[in-house]
Amino acid sequence: MQDTVIWDRVREARKGPRPAHTLDDIARAAISVGDANGVEAVSIRAVAAQLGAGAASLYRYISRKDDLYDLMVDSVAAEYELPSVPSGEWEADVVLVARRIRDVYRRHPWMAELAPHASWGPNTQDYMEFFLAALEPTGLGHVERIEFIGLMSAWIATFTQLVQQPAATGAGRLRHFASIAADPARPQLAQAIVALMRADPSSSSPDQLFERGLHRLIHGIAG
């Protein structure tokens, strides 16, 4: 079973010593490493060390490094804490879900990178089930609803990285932005960067930007 998704693993030990850790333990360890030092620090060895285990031991529980990512994403998906049943007001539900996702992405910045590629674990499935049901009153088909869910997640991910944490772009990036802003050959882009750079003293806090972006996502760019 080398190409099996981790959720299909059947784990029922009959003989030998009982495993020293659970998948939840491993997920927690990986999450704490990711929160503290970023995704790129989430290595097999680092997570194993966090668990107080040897590196090779992890392969008793997972079969690929991607399984680690899957565990992290689905474990954190439990933090959405959505109601079990939609309210019936689909727009309010969409706003609710969006805000929860934003909060979680802010708490765990690596989600923006890992979530799109992750397989669908139980918590993720619960979240999608809720979202699909919430979108039922729109009259959209299932494929369209899935698409919208992906669209909204992708938007929140890029929004989090672009607006919420622009300082993460590094010194060289900032210098490059400045040179673009000073280039008269592309006036629209120059203006846009100037508008992006100043941390919105007047018209728009990040939260306001988020709400308005969300409104545009629902009602369209012209609405």
Site of interaction with DNA (CB under 7 A): 2, 11, 13-21, 41-46, 53-57, 59-61, 63-66
Among 43, 57, 119, 165, contact with its own copies (rule: CB under 8 A): 119
> In the chain, which residue ranges form alpha helices assigned H by DSSP?
23-37, 44-51, 65-77, 90-107, 111-114, 122-134, 142-159, 170-181, 187-197, 206-219
CA–CA gap between residue 69 and residue 84 (Å, rounded): 26
Residue with tokens 């879900």: 97
Q: Smallest Cα–Cα separation from 97: which of 149, 155, 162, 137?
A: 149
Residue 4 as a binder of its own copies (CB under 8 A): the answer is yes
Residue 148 as a binder of its own copies (CB under 8 A): the answer is yes
Inter-CA distances, 122 with 85, 155, 204, 223, Å = 17, 23, 37, 36
Structure tokens at 146: 């899935």
C-beta of 72: minimal distance to DNA in Å? 12
* Residue 18 binds which entry of DNA, its own copies, none, CB below 5-8 Å type-dependent: DNA
Q: Smallest Cα–Cα separation from 7: which of 78, 70, 64?
A: 70
* Residue 107 binds which entry of its own copies, DNA, none, CB below 5-8 Å type-dependent: none
Residue 107 as a binder of its own copies (CB under 8 A): the answer is no
Q: Kindly provide the b/e burial profile for residues 21-34, where b requires at least 16 CB atoms within 10 angstroms of the residue's own CB.
A: bebeebbbbbbebb
* Residue 128 binds which entry of its own copies, DNA, none, CB below 5-8 Å type-dependent: its own copies
Residue 24 as a binder of its own copies (CB under 8 A): the answer is no
Among 22, 150, 168, 182, contact with its own copies (rule: CB under 8 A): 150
Residue 147 as a binder of its own copies (CB under 8 A): the answer is yes
Inter-CA distances, 160 with 21, 61, 97, 171, Å = 33, 32, 15, 19
C-beta of 41: minimal distance to DNA in Å? 7
Q: Name the residues that contact its own copies, by CB under 8 A.
A: 3-5, 7-8, 116, 119-120, 125-126, 128-129, 132-133, 136, 138, 140-148, 150-151, 154-155, 157-159, 162-163, 170-173, 175-176, 179-180, 186-189, 191-192, 194-196, 204, 209, 212-213, 216-223
